[in-house]
């Protein structure tokens, strides 16, 4: 696996993507050790093993998106192994992914839920209220990926009286972009930075109580904790839920501006962004309630 991972690093993939491949391949190797007596060798990998692994994940209740992501990691590994001659054939080529439901838009938070989350952030203890509130506002008002937030430095934030922006130096695919910051998030960031007592430009924007940069896992844990304290139970809330909330709110306030939203989110393809235009379950339910066929009789 090590040569394959080294090859991925040379392909200029984002650090988070590399970590994801490494994690998914380790998961497969851990499963392989439980079902095979012999040590794993890449040149001995067979299609039936990949199918059995897929069935194991399905039986374990893994979500289709998780199953397909892990299979994608194995497909990339097998393509590389076939190209380098380690495998005589691409044994992952015909392993089918799980079907996923693609006719529903992602779920975001309602306005009431957003206010509850922000209240929980503003009530954080141990002097973390300003940090948690600014972090939540940045996720909600700029739609950044959690990995992008973790990588931010103070120098990446530009704020004036009537404008501001955040510079994403290494987004997905190592692509840079600039996202405007509205007055609400600028105010929250100023309060956060004022409490930091003028940190250096190269300092991490969000730090732990030990003054070290907050990694992705810690930011995720903070968001989960805030959602729990806000008693948000309708949906499982993660940092990505806040990104969805931003995107859905943007299109609600700016109908039809899909190209602009794609630019803000850092999407390469409009097909990726178009998922936010699909009907939600609530939309479909409301349509059926209004249907002329919905009569008692």
Instruction: Identify the residue whose tokens are 């509130």.
Output: 133
Geometric angle at alpha carbon 267, from 263 and 273, rounded to 5°: 90
Q: What pLDDT, on the 0 to 100 scale, is given for residue 115? A: 97
Three-state DSSP state, 158: strand
218-to-134, 135, 164, 255, 258 alpha-carbon distances in Å: 15, 12, 26, 35, 32
CA-angle at 294, arms to 293 and 296, nearest 5°: 110
- DSSP 3-state assignment of 179? strand
Instruction: Dihedral sign for Cα 241, 245, 248, 250, please.
Output: negative
Cβ–Cβ contacts within 10 Å for residue 108, how many?
A: 22
Q: How far is CA 245 from the centre of its chain?
A: 13
Q: Rounded to whole angstroms, how far apart are CA atoms 131 and 205?
A: 9
Burial of 111 (0-12, 13-18, 19+ CB in 10 A): exposed
CATH of domain 2-84: 1.10.150
Domain assignments of the chain as residue spans, ordered by start: 2-84, 111-280
DSSP string, 37-105: SSPP-GGG--HHHHHHHHHHHHHTT--HHHHHHHHHHHHHHHHHHHHHTSSSS-TTTT-PPPP---SSP
Residue 197: predicted pLDDT: 76
Per-residue pLDDT at 25: 93
- 111-280 carries CATH number 1.10.443.10: yes
Mean pLDDT by 10 residues, the chain (297 residues): 80 75 92 86 92 92 88 93 92 86 78 97 94 97 95 95 90 80 96 86 91 92 96 94 96 92 90 81 59 52
Instruction: State pTM to two decimals.
Output: 0.66
């Amino acid at each position: 696996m090590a040569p394959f991972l080294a090859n991925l690093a040379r392909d200029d993939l984002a650090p988070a993507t590399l970590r994801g491949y490494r994690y998914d391949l380790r998961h497969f190797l851990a499963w392989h050790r439980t079902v095979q007596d012999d040590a794993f060798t890449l040149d001995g990998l067979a299609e039936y093993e990949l199918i059995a692994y897929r069935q194991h994940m399905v039986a374990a209740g893994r979500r289709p998106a998780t199953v397909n992501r892990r299979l994608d990691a194995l497909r990339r590994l097998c393509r590389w192994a076939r190209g380098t001659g380690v495998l005589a054939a691409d044994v992952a080529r015909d392993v089918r992914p799980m079907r996923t439901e693609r006719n529903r838009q992602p779920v975001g938070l309602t306005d009431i839920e957003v206010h509850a989350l922000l209240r929980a952030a503003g009530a954080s203890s141990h002097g973390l209220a300003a940090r948690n509130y600014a972090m939540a506002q940045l996720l909600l008002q700029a739609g950044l990926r959690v990995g992008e937030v973790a990588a931010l430095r103070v120098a990446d934030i530009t704020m004036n009286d009537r404008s501001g922006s955040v510079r994403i130096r290494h987004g997905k695919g190592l692509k840079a972009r600039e996202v405007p910051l509205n007055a609400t998030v600028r105010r929250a960031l100023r309060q956060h930075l004022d409490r930091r007592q003028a940190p250096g430009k190269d300092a991490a924007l969000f730090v732990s109580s030990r003054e070290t940069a907050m990694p992705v896992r810690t930011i995720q844990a903070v968001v989960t904790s805030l959602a729990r304290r806000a008693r948000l139970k309708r949906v499982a809330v993660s940092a990505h839920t806040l990104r969805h909330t931003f995107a859905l709110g943007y299109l609600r306030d700016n109908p039809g501006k899909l190209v602009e939203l794609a630019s803000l989110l850092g999407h390469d393809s409009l097909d990726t962004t178009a998922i936010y235009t699909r009907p939600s379950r609530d939309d479909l339910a409301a349509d059926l309630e209004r249907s002329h066929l919905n009569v008692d009789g």
